[in-house]
Amino acid sequence: GQQVMQIPQYQHVQEGEDFTTYCNSSTTLSNIQWYKQRPGGHPVFLIQLVKSGEVKKQKRLTFQFGEAKKNSSLHITATQTTDVGTYFCAVPFSKTSYDKVIFGPGTSLSVIP
């Protein structure tokens, strides 16, 4: 089955520093989704990437899908305390999966004020 890795597992940054998390798949992906889960909360959808080499921006967040569609990254510029949480990538369960996704292990971000 599909396997997805995320690094790093944890990241502690000073407020204002940048942050990047990487997601890697063992197989070529049709799409990849990113979610954020605040401590004690539920995952919230951030974005979906579909095209090879795609780059999308949401304010201070930049999402990238690799050319081979096997990896993706999420970069946050000038982190703020509101960025604290765990960031998960989610990939299709299989090439024929219908809505079903599996979640990466997540990267937990701590921001020191």
Partner 1 sequence: GAVVSQHPSWVICKSGTSVKIECRSLDFQATTMFWYRQFPKQSLMLMATSNEGSKATYEQGVEKDKFLINHASLTLSTLTVTSAHPEDSSFYICSAPTIPGFKQPQHFGDGTRLSIL
Question: Would you tell me which residues interact with partner 1 (CB under 8 A)?
Answer: 30-31, 33, 35, 41-45, 48, 50, 88, 90, 92-93, 97-106, 108
Q: Measured from the CB atom, is 44 or 68 closer to partner 1?
A: 44
Shortest distance, CB of residue 103 to partner 1, whole angstroms? 5
Rounded to a whole number of angstroms, the minimum distance from the CB of residue 77 to partner 1 is 23
Q: Whole-angstrom distance between the N-terminal and C-terminal Cα of the chain?
A: 41
Residue 110 CB contacts under 8 Å (≥ 6 apart), including other chains: 10, 11, 12, 13, 84
